[in-house]
Structure 1
Amino acid sequence: MTHRTHIESVETILIGPPGTPPAKGVGRECVTPLSGLEIADHEMRSGLPPVDVWGVLVLVRTSSGHLGIGSAGFGNRVAATVIESNLAPLLIGRDPFDVEALWRLMYLSTLNFGRKGAVLAAISALDIALWDVLGRILDEPVFRLIGGRTRPAIRVYASRLYATEDLSALAQEARGYVDAGFTAVKQRLAYGPRDGKIGMQRNLELVQAVASVLPSDVEHMVDAYMGWDSWYAARMIRMIENAGIELAWVEEPLPPDNVSSLAELRTNVGTPIAAGEHEYTRYGVHDLLTHKAVDVLQTDMNRTGGITEAKKIVALASAFGVPVIPHAGQLHNYHVVMSSPGCPMAEHFIRPPHGVVPDEDELFYRLFDGEPDAVDGFVYLADGIPGMGYQLNEQAIKTWRVS
């Protein structure tokens, strides 16, 4: 069968909060890279100041009348500029089925100023959109195009549990996820080196509050979001271990460029180490794997190069015996997990209740119709829904679009 179609247009849509943007993490405490910086505002929780753009949507339209949708992650106004100025002109008029060649074209043409950061976020968004449009053209879900179904459904873990001084409320939230059928949960810790020994004790209390309500067969993970240093991380993890709490992993205990330090930490503690959310392409991941720095790899399709690169990363990790559990939920991640035996589980952000303003990690539930909720701790992908399986919610786009 011959597919005579070409890419006709590429459009970007900037997405952000209506009105004055808040600092990321306000009311949702977690330790961050800025937690130890004296000049950082307390509410600057993510290593980023308040930004008006939370994400970038990219729409790829073909001459056959099909639309593919992709997205870049938090704060990537720059990614939209890269798409419009550097990448879209390369793609217009080309065959969307040449997705591998198009990825290399985008990556190599930006090598002198790209390789990571906003440029890779831009490539990722376009790659996701290309796979979405291929699925729509072929009337097949993306997972069937990249390996097929490897299981009936995807086991997912509940990812929320932000730090709070109300430990009983935190425990109640955790228990609610167990009652909803989740067999794994992840919480955020709030304190780092700047907070001293008192902060370590408070972190331990947060972990104990969640652990106290989890059955023995429910896995428990914690996220330090790049906010610790080597000395603090080793002491904090040992404190949790000495309290008799067995964690499935500690996530991003160190900044992403400290690969050797991360490997050393992994050898000095008994708790598994997860990282890779802020690493880019198979080349960056190769460093993590060859240094034996991670027990769990958490590549992010919005950053690492999209689905085309993610499949290579999963294959590379499998050669090292390292499972891949991608960062973030969302359908583009679920399609890779479904088609990859090396991905035993996926992250799942909880849909915010009606009337609650979402943060950037939850906004996709508003922007897209079709994003799945977990059912008894599993996400199901249907065989009969083409592409990624989502559609734009036009009303939400109008509300959240940045002019």
Structure 2
Amino acid sequence: MSMPTIKQIRAYTVRGGGADYHDQGEGHWIDSQISTPMSKYPDYRMTRRSFGLNVLGTLVVEVEASDGTVGFGVTTAGEIGAFIVEKHLARFVEGQRVTDIEKIWDQMFHATLFYGRKGVVLNTISGVDLALWDLLGKIRDEPVHALLGGPVRDELQFYATGARPDLAQKMGFIGGKMPLKHGPAEGDAGLEKNLAQLADMRERVGDDFWLMFDCWMSLDLDYATRLAQGAKAHGLKWIEEALPPDDYWGYAALKKSVPAGMLVTTGEHEATRWGFRMLLEMGCCDIIQPDVGWCGGVTELVKISALADAHNTLVVPHGSSVYSYHFVVTRTNSPFAEFLMMAPQADEVVPMFNPLLLDEPVPENGRMRASKLDAPGFGVRLNPDSTLARPYTH
């Protein structure tokens, strides 16, 4: 059969959960006191919403083929991303064959170099790319993982990110990653509180359960080193995103200074093969953690993963639900996946992008059969009850 072309691309925004999972109501653990780059300012220390973490909202990108098939992707770029899609990127998408994903990506990236390269522009490109892969899977009646070469294992296993690793252990996860609460501005007292939290959680879960700290770009090299050294006694498996994303030199030094056996991980807020090339060639970390909705989409994640494989570095994508699961299940250097606990108290397993997506699979006892991902495309649907807005057209 002849391959359909792309008739139209549309960009929508939506508030309240979804890809912008920080856009939550009051009382959610994800907006509690968590160490951030803004924690140096007391006015912005107690919640992340106070400095605007949820201002963007979710971007939904739809691509409609000439035969009427519609694919979609979601990311965090909000109205800014919707403008970029409708007013700039549409020209590189519409009229192309559904299979022209590589060319479309290359044109979108190079056409936005003068104002893009990373950040919200790459989030937007990622959202378009996810929509294109979803569309291609639906046209071919295959899951995205089949388009990527097929599963290399029968099931995925997960660690959980959230405020209660002890509860995650009871739910069958292989480990729990806690948000670090106190940053350098709170001095030695804050550091001791962080270590006390870790010690308490270690006592709750025992010696055989992974415990990790998510530091969310908030530390300096000295503080991160002292935290890692102090955490050795409590069996911390890894220290994550301890430094600002551009401090490659700091990460290289941290990796050399942490206790033997402790891993350094980062990359959630890195983008493109060039950004990850810096992390890999400079020996910055043991695991890279690209977010498929931010790093450039599936098209770029495949290239990032190949670079990591050549450097004997694991790829464990930042939690992004089905958009990363379809990738992880096809890669031998992605041995497990992240699941973000989006229940307000981190006390139950709920779909990560709830309420935006329908048919979103979740782990059962910390695992997921590969067959759960066998629906065409990414296998999820937009919730028709979600209030989508299309702020721009073209």
- Does the TM-score normalized on the shorter chain lie above 0.5? yes
Residue in 1 aligned with 2:6?
7
Aligned counterpart for 1:371 among listed residues 352, 360, 365? 360
Instruction: String of CA shifts for 1:342-400, please: whole Å, max 9, x gaps.
Output: 1111110225279x9x9xx97612110121111121123326411001001111x12x7
Aligned counterpart for 1:392 among listed residues 379, 382, 385? 382
Instruction: String of CA shifts for 1:232-258, please: whole Å, max 9, x gaps.
Output: 1111111112xx112221101101011
Secondary structure of the structure 2 residue equivalent to 1:8? strand
Asked whether 1:239 is paired with 2:230, we answer: yes
Comparing 309-318 with 207-216, which one deviates more in the overlay?
Answer: 207-216
One-letter amino acid matched to 1:8: K
* Matched-pair contact (CA < 8 Å) for 2:129–2:296: yes
Asked whether 1:214 is paired with 2:213, we answer: no
Q: CA 1:325/1:117 → structure 2, altered by over 3 Å: closer, same or farther?
A: same
* Matched-pair contact (CA < 8 Å) for 2:126–2:295: yes
Q: Distance in 2 between matches of 1:347 and 1:401?
A: 30
Residue in 1 aligned with 2:70?
67
* Matched-pair contact (CA < 8 Å) for 1:180–1:377: yes
Secondary structure of the structure 2 residue equivalent to 1:113? coil
Asked whether 1:261 is paired with 2:250, we answer: yes
Comparing 209-218 with 42-51, which one deviates more in the overlay?
Answer: 42-51
Asked whether 1:280 is paired with 2:282, we answer: no
Instruction: String of CA shifts for 1:19-51, please: whole Å, max 9, x gaps.
Output: x9879977522111111136x533452794265
Task: Write the mapping of 1:1-400 to structure 2, written as runs, cut at 5 A.
Answer: 2-17=1-16, 27-37=31-41, 40-43=43-46, 45=48, 48-49=51-52, 51-73=54-76, 76-161=78-163, 173-241=164-232, 244-270=233-259, 271-352=262-343, 364-382=353-371, 384-395=374-385, 397-398=386-387
One-letter amino acid matched to 1:393: N
Secondary structure of the structure 2 residue equivalent to 1:127? helix
Q: Distance in 2 between matches of 1:112 and 1:46?
A: 30
One-letter amino acid matched to 1:381: A
Q: Distance in 1 between matches of 2:213 and 2:339?
A: 14
Q: Distance in 2 between matches of 1:50 and 1:288?
A: 25
Following superposition, the deviation at residue 329 of structure 1 comes to 3.4
Q: Distance in 1 between matches of 2:370 and 2:57?
A: 27
Q: Distance in 2 between matches of 1:174 and 1:58?
A: 34
Q: TM-score, normalised by structure 2?
A: 0.90
Following superposition, the deviation at residue 8 of structure 1 comes to 1.0
Secondary structure of the structure 2 residue equivalent to 1:309? helix
* Matched-pair contact (CA < 8 Å) for 2:14–2:78: no
Q: CA 1:283/1:16 → structure 2, altered by over 3 Å: closer, same or farther?
A: same
Instruction: String of CA shifts for 1:157-187, please: whole Å, max 9, x gaps.
Output: 11111xxxxxxxxxxx433221211111111
Q: Distance in 1 between matches of 2:88 and 2:51?
A: 25
Q: Which runs of 5+ in 1 are unaligned?
A: 162-172
Instruction: String of CA shifts for 1:314-335, please: whole Å, max 9, x gaps.
Output: 1110100000000013101000
Secondary structure of the structure 2 residue equivalent to 1:364? coil
Q: CA 1:351/1:33 → structure 2, altered by over 3 Å: closer, same or farther?
A: closer
- Percent identity between the two aligned chains: 31
Q: Which runs of 5+ in 2 are unaligned?
A: 18-22
Q: CA 1:307/1:26 → structure 2, altered by over 3 Å: closer, same or farther?
A: closer
Secondary structure of the structure 2 residue equivalent to 1:34? coil
Following superposition, the deviation at residue 98 of structure 1 comes to 1.0
* Matched-pair contact (CA < 8 Å) for 2:158–2:338: yes
Instruction: String of CA shifts for 1:202-261, please: whole Å, max 9, x gaps.
Output: 1011111211122333211110101111111111111112xx112221101101011001
Aligned pairs, number: 380
Q: Distance in 2 between matches of 1:180 and 1:145?
A: 32
Secondary structure of the structure 1 residue equivalent to 2:377? coil
* Matched-pair contact (CA < 8 Å) for 1:211–1:220: yes
How large is the Cα RMSD of the aligned pairs? 2.5
Secondary structure of the structure 2 residue equivalent to 1:9? strand
* Matched-pair contact (CA < 8 Å) for 1:90–1:106: yes
Q: Distance in 1 between matches of 2:223 and 2:53?
A: 28
Secondary structure of the structure 1 residue equivalent to 2:39? helix
